[in-house]
Chains A and B, each alone.
Chain A
């Protein structure tokens, strides 16, 4: 063995051992994280956990949500309108609210002859530069500027992202992915979760809690309550009780006594006559407690509606002053009570959410896919091995060794880079083998040609590798290029395919050329004269 070849062999061995060690160590680290048995996870478990599996293989939920940023705009609009009219009243003017002309604009009617400089002062103080002002026939219209509108929408999406993250963290999911996608979309991936409905409700629950004084109701007669509606009151529907057919309504004060923002903590509990009712206990911040205490003391014997997402959950009577704690009753299941407490703790969403895309894969389907993918892969690889050995005899074994090494290195690369293996990724693994063998074929065919042209075996091998090199680079470059576009295009499973393909191709440059060449050198290196090449 010449010195050069010895170094090459050494390098290959180091890479191989490093790859196997890296694979197993990553496996141990991952396996430990969700190992619920005793002691350390066994080797088998480590090998299973070395490569992170995509949702389509391990089961889980993939959701894409859209934040209804117009909700946040409307909230900002209403708040600004309220602030502004209050300020005008303080200045001694008599503004009357007018229905808002759009999501990002409000209007106020101010009697003609009012002091315009006072109005302009109020605008400057209360609305600043975020609003543009226009006045026509006693009606003043204020519109959010485009930058302000974008900023509000952006904040709403960031807040929603944060809230969802809090909720998922409280729920306890290992390795969740929660990320912003584009302008107003949020991607949520939860591996291993097999109860999609519960998680979907948990995320989507706006959890906007308000406690409001009841003016009238409960009543099934909607029309009668509507007749008594004034601008500072609103009509709300009650959450239907099980088995109840007709809707019930309440007339409540628009201004809330306290909201979810005044809440410090919430916990599920049990109560009721037989102790079999699930409810949620909540606890208020000091500021909230002060407001709540004052309001309840002033309204003893009246009813207080507990409103969640614009639906009246219950409306208990205020028996005495309450300071810092309360109960939300309703016919909850244990899970519902638990989740409601969770979302109250994690905070309300600033805007509504809609689901744009949801994909759930159950754990058994994932396991089935893995089984099938592996079965197809093993058979495919064996077929290729047999074909190559039949066709190239001894040189075929050289290719087989290079391919196996390619497989090992690819698995190690996937685990070390923390790449995700998906079902199409398994297909990518296989396709890599098909394409890696192409490099071997290119070289071997060249060697055969050289032999036919009457070159000595040693020269034929050297020429074969050097002449095939440019073509090998070309073939890899073209497929790599398309794989990069694939990566750009794809999400989830398809991206996993692209990653596997890219890694596999890069590795095959090493195995099919460097390793295969070294094996030739090893086998034929010592002999000065080779009579025949088995190719």
Chain B
């Protein structure tokens, strides 16, 4: 199968259209950032606390919000996430003025509000970790020394505690202590749990808290990393091609890709976190990668004995690499689409960033990086003419036209 066989598109013909389109995209992104008063930062960069919970029953979001407000935690963002049926909730709490364990405050407030007062000696099997379960079980020792044989109580009950925690992982959340019936624990252990434990209203899936100082540090670190990697690319291109227009073209394309991707993410209302920055940095590599393939070909074609104008060479090179460009972009895109649809919440924005980046990066290799080399060349020729340097009578324009005529 072949998609493109010896194509002869005149890509450079549309370079001015492309420049307008690029600027429009960049400006749209800037407007979105401006309207939203800056980028929407996740807690990695903004600071604050974010907790993911899974409830046994369908959670009443308004009730949860009221409980947290009563606890004096200020404005909280609560939203359902992933599939409805999972009863999962994401709670976002702002940076608190007073230092303290915000996660525990949130969990305590919710537990107090959502369940009847319970004997503090009982354990919550939706909150207890393996260690706590193992400790309590080995203190009570429901199976007795005879059943354990040689094994020390701690090891014996650690194994049982593990199966109970694993079961919780499978179910997502225990609805009642009777759910432990499905584990391999002995009847004595099961009845001990039913007598001494209860199922709290939710399981904590994850909790993240980032202080303001760390958020600020990460922000500047992220900017630094993006800036430094762009500079690194500049150095690489400069060394590799030893040519100013090529270097400038690649870097302008790179900055262009980054700006447009950030802008589109802002328009789509996506949050910026560490993982998105990782995707942006990957994009820096991908964008230059794509540009370099075209440049390499331009260089190679320039060395050929056949004398052609630079524009013709550029057009020819883009056409020659077109198949590869589309295929590689397509393959990477397939991977990213799979991650986008199946990878879960964390990888969703990551994959989206790359998907946008692949489209923009492919487009910019042709229309930004290559166009700049061509425009630079045209300008420097004009200036050379003014300086009365005799220009070899290369039939630039007519040849390009003739070539593109085949289209």
Contacts and interface: CB of A to CB of B under 8 A. Distances in A.
Contacts of A367: 169
Given A194-B165, A377-B338, A430-B338, A493 B275 contact: yes
Nearest to A361: B206
Interface stretch (B27-35, B302-310, B343-351): B343-351
Nearest to B323: A445
B103 A364 contact: no
Given A194-B165, A423-B347, A494-B277, A474 B206 contact: no
A441 B211 contact: no
Given A373-B347, A423-B346, A471 B296 contact: yes
B331 interface: yes
B334 A384 contact: yes
Interface in A296-340: 333-335, 338
Contact of A200 (B101, B324, B350): B101
Contacts of A208: none
A358 B99 CA distance: 13
Given A360-B206, A449-B320, A485-B232, A376 B282 contact: no
Interface in A226-277: none
A56 B346 CA distance: 10
Interface stretch (A76-84, A162-170, A476-484): A476-484
Interface in B207-252: 207-211, 213-214, 221-222, 224-225, 228-229, 232-233, 236, 240
B289 interface: yes
Given A384-B331, A437-B328, A195 B281 contact: no
Contact of A390 (B1, B337, B347): B1
Interface in A419-440: 423-424, 426-427, 430-431, 433-435, 437-438
Contact of B281 (A358, A427, A489): A489
B278 A431 contact: no
A376 B342 contact: yes
Interface residues of A, number: 88
Given A36-B158, A481-B233, A355 B278 contact: no
Interface residues of B, number: 89
Interface of B is mostly: helix
A434 B355 CA distance: 12
A369 B339 CA distance: 12
A360 B103 contact: yes
A358 B327 contact: no
B285 A194 contact: no
A37 B159 contact: yes
Interface stretch (B8-16, B131-139, B191-199, B383-391): B131-139
Given A387-B334, A489-B222, A493-B275, 18 more contacts: A198-B132, A357-B214, A358-B209, A360-B103, A363-B169, A379-B338, A381-B335, A387-B330, A426-B343, A427-B343, A430-B338, A435-B328, A471-B297, A478-B236, A482-B285, A484-B232, A485-B281, A486-B229
Interface of B: 1-3, 5-6, 52, 54, 99, 101, 103-104, 120, 128-132, 135-136, 139, 155, 158-159, 162, 165, 168-169, 172, 203-211, 213-214, 221-222, 224-225, 228-229, 232-233, 236, 240, 274-275, 277-278, 281-282, 284-286, 288-289, 292-293, 296-297, 300, 320-321, 323-324, 327-328, 330-332, 334-339, 341-344, 346-347, 350-351, 354
Interface of A: 36-37, 56, 64, 66, 193-198, 200, 333-335, 338, 354-365, 367-369, 372-373, 375-377, 379-381, 383-384, 387-388, 390-393, 423-424, 426-427, 430-431, 433-435, 437-438, 441-442, 445, 448-449, 452, 467, 470-471, 474-475, 477-486, 488-491, 493-494, 497-498, 501
12 contacts: A195-B129, A338-B135, A360-B208, A367-B169, A387-B331, A435-B289, A442-B324, A445-B324, A478-B285, A481-B285, A482-B229, A482-B233
